[in-house]
Chain A
Amino acid sequence: MAIQLNKTLYRTVLILTFLAINGLILYGIGAAWAFMNTGADKTSMLHLEVPMEDVYKPNMDWVSLDNPGRPMEDQALAEITNDYMNAWHVRNIAYKKNDRYGIEDFYTDSARARLYDIIDINKKNNHWYKRTTLNHNSALDFYTADGTMVVFKDYNVEEYQEIYEGETLVMTERDTTSYQVMMLLEDGFWRIRHLKEIPSPPDTLPEEPRNINIQLKKVEQIKGINYYPKDSPWDTFGKKFNDSIIKQDFKIIQDMGLNTIRIFIQYEDFGKNKVDQKKLNFLKTLLDSAEAYQLDVLITLFDFYGDYDVSNWTLTHRHAQQIVNAVKDHPALLGWDIKNEPDLDFGARGRLRVLSWLEQMIANIKKWDKNHPVTIGWSTPEAGIELANKVDFVSFHYYKDVEDFKTTYETLSTAVPNKPKLLQEYGISSYKGAWNFYRGADQEGQKEYYSEIQQILRENKVPYMFWTLYDFEKVPSAVAGSLPWKTKKQHYFGCLDTLGNKKPSYSELVVKKKE
């Protein structure tokens, strides 16, 4: 008996080892393959010039151009602004790489010596910085008669920096500092000659108060849906954008008794820092249609964005700014959801970095749009406590068991008692097939799920937005990869099938007038 058991044991161990070794070899080959395919893009050999506005574009306003010297010309002002921004940019890069590259183009001899000293110390101590500035409010002091010297104040420069020692992030720092700057025009470049910190002026302008209560009331009443058109999921504003299809869908949503939709703006699709006017027009058309069918729209601003790096903060700010300013007065707009499930990037990008980016973005959007609330679409109720004191209402997604919903929701409610909490995404796929070993819910199972959870939501008065209207024939690989066992269930979350027929779950999601 013992011998036989021994034999089985050896056999098991051998087979397991064999499998493990095979697995490791495959993994190794895969890793090597992946490594070979990463690295610099071939075009980088050409050293093409990257336009400045694609790497660094903080907000810069000239609040005053009055000066006792020479009247400022538009052309000169644009050149000064550009070179001043360049000066900040090359400094940021120099401190990131501890490299002097570019400094001499934008700092005069004596000013650059000061930067070199700092670089040398940081290099010696193995410290480096990721820095950016977000806002500049400049006022001209003086522009000389021959147009070769300019002195101005740069008030309340919002600076953000991450300090690294080796590979470790030591701390992040946010500052608002005012400077006085002297620049000289030397061989075609405006270079910084003097840079001195000056006291920041007290904010004399009273901040315009935010007025979001009406919208927040609406949030508490949300009965809504995450919306993608049937034939262009994850690509609402792409080539297939069709106003009449959207109107049909909105009619269906309205007939279901729902009052809100959530839509997504893809960062790259909308043109990053240079937002495509065509896309903005699509967005406005969609909002107009939503208004026609009495639907409120929650806009998710950053989808398919996951960098959060300090070096492109300003670009994401310009992206958001253009979109917010374009539609902030639209009556159909309910509020701003900054980012879809950013907590999923905590692992890859670092929690601190993601939260810093979000926090800054919240502050920006609150500044640009005083009348709409701001939220973040956390992927779990547990993540909902992050930045809870910054958002206007908490949004979370829930894809786990229905039974646990109530307890997790209550935990969140205890942690964040005073803000509306929106169940922003939930649902279940009706896919039951070979790729999940016939373990998932089928269409009846989906119906059951909804009948259960809708009951809980009604009882607890939880505003909700389910996922989603249609089953999708095609799901882009950017959503859940291209592996069928991962992506298959993404196709079947709808309450209507790919042909638009009602699935059993539909009846559970229709809101009776009484509710």
Chain B
Amino acid sequence: MRIRIVFILSLILIGCSDKQEEQPSKVVYPKVDLVSNITNSIAGEAISLTFKADTDINNIKLQIKNAFGSVLLSPDVSKKEDIVFQIPKNYTRVAGPCRWKLLVDGHTLQKGTFDIATNAPKATYIESYFGPRSVTAGNNDFSMLTIAPTDAYDNPLDDGTPVTVKYQFQDNIDELQIETESFFAFYNVRSTLKSGRILVTAECNGTSSKELATIVYPDNAVNFSISSSSAHNYADGNQIITFKSDVIKDQYGNIVTNGTLVTFVIKNDQDAYLYTIGTTINGVAEAKTLHPDKAATWEIQAFVTGAAESNTDNFTFKAAIKDYPVHFSKGNRNIDVGPFESFMKQLIPDGLLLKLDIYDMNGAFVTSKKTTTKNGVCNIYLGEYFLAAGKYKLKISAAGITKEFIKDIDGDTVE
């Protein structure tokens, strides 16, 4: 009985006891020799590694590693005398060093490297980049052509592979040889003095790239001259005056790109600035603006902002309206001005600005009113709530002519 108790207790004890850590035992690894000695190969060629072992090995693996990553392979044939690993295509096709390690239970038995060369003879493909796709004429700018040729399996070709570059501009076709370095070859296609289009192409091992182009745009505009013209020179506030540049060119004589923005800045007698804008077509920019409504002298200058400026052109406007009548009525509250007559006694076009300033008799400003003409006349009514009865000084100005009146509002309507 006691034996049974002891037995049960010892069973429990055994059950409770810690799991002993396994002591690493001395493992004797099999001896393996490499039979097939591959040191060099060409991309795309099948590669197999054959080993010979002195014993049967169950868990033998081959690790293959290149720049893109590694895989573990099991042998295709696994006999003691003949352990064969077939390297997968995605490894045999990648040029560069390929490392292998023969493993048993994570232990490296043997390792080695073989080099896979690029396979340019089979086929060559060209990737080419050309940029920037536009340059400016002159001696400073260039577009860079980069050519990255690869072999049949997308491996970059070895350094020193010759590449022929051809480029065409107008009647010239140039050709030159360059060599690849660091996966690619490059050539800087210099800009020309004339604007136009440069076409380039490259050739490597008989394979041609597609056609690539860069556009040579004219350089910045150089100084130019302008002229002004109009149907007449009366300041009628109606006619349109046109400013026009001559053909704007860059320093190499290329007509500037269509659409080049030209700003015409106008300075009048009061040193106020007006401006108008035109864009070039075939090098000529044209801009328009209305005549002033009173006599003025304009100084006009045009700019291609940041690049070029023109001469200063003058234009003098004569007064179109010599005088105008003013008529007061309804207790001097109603003021009729006009008709305004232009240089041929014709009625002026609608919209001439008229301004009435009202001062009290002490000369202090009270208020003002503005209106514009219609059908050659205009009217101002000073309502009771707008202006109290009394004596005022009224100053009317239109078309550069100012007239002063002293009127008794609500007083005698007769002047």
Contacts and interface: CB of A to CB of B under 8 A. Distances in A.
Interface of A: 2, 5-6, 9, 13, 69, 91, 95, 110-111, 114-115, 117-118, 121-122, 125, 127, 129, 141-142, 144-146, 148-149, 151, 161, 163, 165, 169-171, 177, 179-180, 182, 193-197
Contacts of B103: 170-171
Most buried by B among A118, A125, A170: A118
B97 interface: yes
B143 A195 contact: no
B231 interface: no
A167 B188 CA distance: 55
B154 A110 contact: yes
A253 B63 CA distance: 57
A161 B183 contact: no
Contacts of B132: 145-146
A155 to B, nearest CB: 14
Interface in B178-209: 182-184, 186, 188
B106 interface: yes
Contacts, number: 104
Contacts of A110: 154
A127 B146 contact: no
A117 B90 contact: yes
Nearest to A125: B72
A114 B90 contact: yes
Given A5-B1, A114-B90, A170 B72 contact: yes
Interface string B67-105: 111111110000000000000101000111100000100
A171 to B, nearest CB: 4
B144 A146 contact: yes
B176 interface: no
A115 B285 CA distance: 58
Given A114-B94, A182-B156, A194-B183, A145 B142 contact: yes
B90 A180 contact: no
20 contacts: A6-B1, A69-B144, A117-B90, A118-B90, A121-B71, A129-B70, A142-B182, A144-B186, A145-B132, A145-B142, A145-B144, A146-B144, A148-B131, A149-B146, A151-B183, A163-B63, A170-B72, A182-B148, A182-B184, A196-B67
B122 interface: no
Contacts of A151: 182-184
A386 to B, nearest CB: 13
Contacts of A115: 68-69
Contacts of B61: 170
B96 A197 contact: yes
A117 B90 CA distance: 7
B31 interface: no
Contacts of A122: 71-72
A128 B148 CA distance: 33
The 9 closest A-B pairs by CB, nearest first: A146-B131, A117-B90, A145-B144, A171-B106, A141-B182, A197-B67, A118-B69, A121-B71, A151-B182
Contacts of B97: 197
Interface string B126-154: 00010110000000001110101000001
Q: Which residue, B66, B97, B106, has most C-beta atoms of chain A within 10 A?
A: B106
Interface in B94-125: 94-97, 103, 106-108
Given A163-B63, A170-B103, A91 B69 contact: yes
Contact of A125 (B71, B95, B183): B71
Residue of A13, A129, A196 most packed against chain B (CB within 10 A): A196
B26 interface: no
Interface in B25-63: 61, 63
A145 B143 contact: yes
Interface in B276-312: none
A118 B182 contact: no
Interface of B: 1, 4-5, 8, 61, 63, 66-74, 88, 90, 94-97, 103, 106-108, 129, 131-132, 142-144, 146, 148, 154-156, 182-184, 186, 188
A91 B66 CA distance: 14
A194 B131 contact: no
B95 A196 contact: yes
Contacts of B182: 141-142, 151, 180, 182
B72 A165 contact: yes
A127 B68 contact: no
Contacts of A149: 129, 146, 184
Contacts of A5: 1
Contact of B72 (A2, A145, A163, A194): A163
A127 B67 CA distance: 18
Contacts of B73: 125
A5 B63 CA distance: 66
A196 B1 contact: no
Nearest to B143: A145
Contacts of A95: 69
B262 to A, nearest CB: 30
A13 B106 CA distance: 48
B88 A121 contact: yes
Interface centre among A95, A142, A165 (most CB of B within 10 A): A142
A171 B95 CA distance: 26
A245 to B, nearest CB: 43
A182 B127 CA distance: 13
Contacts of A170: 61, 72, 103, 106
B72 A69 contact: no
B148 to A, nearest CB: 7
Contact of B71 (A91, A127, A142, A177): A127
Nearest to B148: A182
B40 to A, nearest CB: 15
A129 B63 CA distance: 13
Given A146-B131, A151-B183, A180-B183, A118 B71 contact: yes
Nearest to B90: A117
Contact of A144 (B67, B71, B129, B156): B129
A305 B144 CA distance: 52
Contacts of A197: 66-67, 96-97
A512 B100 CA distance: 63
Nearest to B106: A171
Given A91-B69, A194-B156, 10 more contacts: A118-B90, A125-B71, A127-B72, A142-B184, A144-B144, A149-B146, A161-B70, A163-B70, A170-B103, A170-B106
B186 A69 contact: yes
